[in-house]
Structure 1
Amino acid sequence: MWRKLYLLLFFLFTTGNYAQDSIVYFSDAVKRNIKPYRSASAIAFENKDFTEGKRLFDSLVQHKLNGTLFDDFTIKGYHSKKVILHKINKPILLVTYASWCVRNKGDAPALNTLANKYGNNLQIVIVFWDKKKNLKKTANQFNSKIKICYANEAYQNDFKIVATLKHTLGMPTVYYIDENKNVVTINRIKNQNKIKISKDAAFAMSYSLFDDMINTTNTKLSLNTTTRKF
């Protein structure tokens, strides 16, 4: 009975969006809401209620994280010294991975295609929770239009971004952030490699996930047709 009551309290706790005239940083919203979310999702996981687990995640994102101002993280760049998110003057698709995790085989080609398709209207940033020395092989899978970054607990300056993103919503996770650095939507990336699927099917699934996020409600991007590739 108490479990049902707790889930009800969590649902009530997460209803209602932030007021449009208030500024709430993403990291602050995570701090305020992550404990009840973790407790409720742990109960759902214990009961093997994966549908409820997804509902809880979606509720957290929709009611408490969407609309927040994404923090002005400065991230180490693989091909550059650093990447400052708030200096990127266009929407950002931020994808987080770890080099030791098996990525969907369709993700890299889908992200490369999207980076070409949207040209100068979107910046794709990939953050690996890793050290630079472990990224050489992985980083080469992505084209030059994608900013490859890395962060790790071993680096003192990475504490906030690691705590805010990696240790809360997990990985792999993808965030769509508009040109004003407001969080539009967040999704988890499902592992498709557990199913034997062709490269074309894997590409289609990855492409659909990322492109749907980019073109969510009221965020349609105009295409740069001169760089469009399929």
Structure 2
Amino acid sequence: MKKLLVLGILSLYFSNSFAQEERQIPFSVAISAHIVKYNQKIDLAYQDKDLERAEFLFDSLVTNHLSGTYMDNFNVYPLKGDPILLRDYEKPIFLITYASWCVPGIGEIPALNDLADRFHDQIDFVVLFWDNKVKLKEKVKEYNSNIHLVHIDEKTNQDSYIINKLKHALGFPMMYFIDGNKKILDIRKIVTHHSSETLSNSYNIHFNSLSKGVSLLIADLDLNTETKNAESEEKENEDQRTDKERNIDEEYERYKQERDSINKKDN
């Protein structure tokens, strides 16, 4: 009986301790837990040609189960140089997953280029192609130098588990908005439109859509900066005296009080 009581107390203690810490759930774990049921429901929606229902299901999956999870660490491969780990990107990440055979809207890449020009000091813009190096080379001229172009060849990559989840679970092209700690703030589909759209209209459609992701990352960055500044101010305002200095100051305060008291009596 005593053993059971002790075990119960220990269990309660550790449960409370862990509950106080933020649970950092990996994206791969979260998507694995919910993707089967999601696919069943969304397949029915598409069979019924209910696009509104399909959109609702995607938004619910992201909002309720994927936002707030942490992107797994994995290698991406630039055209030149060594592989790069996702955690090596220090800024918030605007990640787009793509493939060379996907046909973007005529104004999509120009809009992304303009946003990268404006915000590359604050955000790492990363376009990840599910392709080999040869295919990636064909795309380089379309993007400006402020965008990190990387690729992963699924046949040769060393992170097959997370790559399988990223590429096949939600599909692509897809946008992932990831903060500096690699927490996923949101996941959005790339906006599509009819191929007959003019360059001007296509640019505006994509610029407005992509800007929402940029705004989300910047707002989160500003919030974190404000929080850090507030914590820094709080530390600065804390009593930073040593115990010896504090004792001396307290002794001096007592001396002043006694002196003032004597002066009042004399008067």
What TM-score, normalized by structure 2, do the two folds share? 0.72
Match of residue 30 from structure 2? 29
**Pairwise mapping of residues 1-230 of structure 1 onto structure 2 (< 5 A)?**
21-192=22-193, 194-216=194-216, 219=219
For residue 103 of structure 1, give the secondary structure of its aligned residue in structure 2.
coil
Larger radius of gyration: 2
* Structure 2 stretches lacking a partner, 5+ long: 1-19, 223-267
RMSD: 1.9
| Distance verdict in 2 for CA 1:221–1:208, change over 3 Å | farther
Structure 1 segments (4+ residues) deviating >6 Å: none
For residue 43 of structure 1, give the secondary structure of its aligned residue in structure 2.
helix
Alpha carbons 1:151, 1:158 under 8 Å: kept: no
What is the number of equivalent residue pairs in this alignment? 203
1:208, CA displacement in angstroms?
1.2
1:180, CA displacement in angstroms?
1.2
1:196, CA displacement in angstroms?
1.4
Higher relative contact order, chain-length normalized (CA < 8 Å, sep 6+): 1
Deviations 1:41-92 (A, max 9, x none): 0111111111000000000000000000111121111243222211111110
Larger helix fraction of residues: 2
Alpha carbons 2:178, 2:217 under 8 Å: kept: no
For residue 24 of structure 2, give the secondary structure of its aligned residue in structure 1.
coil
1:207, CA displacement in angstroms?
1.2
| Distance verdict in 2 for CA 1:72–1:156, change over 3 Å | closer
Deviations 1:122-151 (A, max 9, x none): 000001111111122212211111111111
1:217, CA displacement in angstroms?
8.2
Alpha carbons 2:122, 2:218 under 8 Å: kept: no
> How far apart, in 1, do the equivalents of 2:98 and 2:58 lie?
18
Letter in 1 for 2:133: K
Letter in 2 for 1:124: F
For residue 145 of structure 2, give the secondary structure of its aligned residue in structure 1.
coil
> How far apart, in 2, do the equivalents of 1:55 and 1:180 lie?
28
1:218, CA displacement in angstroms?
7.5
1:25, CA displacement in angstroms?
0.5
> How far apart, in 2, do the equivalents of 1:20 and 1:53 lie?
35
What TM-score, normalized by structure 1, do the two folds share? 0.83
> How far apart, in 2, do the equivalents of 1:39 and 1:87 lie?
36
1:156, CA displacement in angstroms?
3.9
Letter in 2 for 1:126: V
> How far apart, in 2, do the equivalents of 1:20 and 1:178 lie?
19
> How far apart, in 1, do the equivalents of 2:221 and 2:114 lie?
15
Letter in 2 for 1:206: H
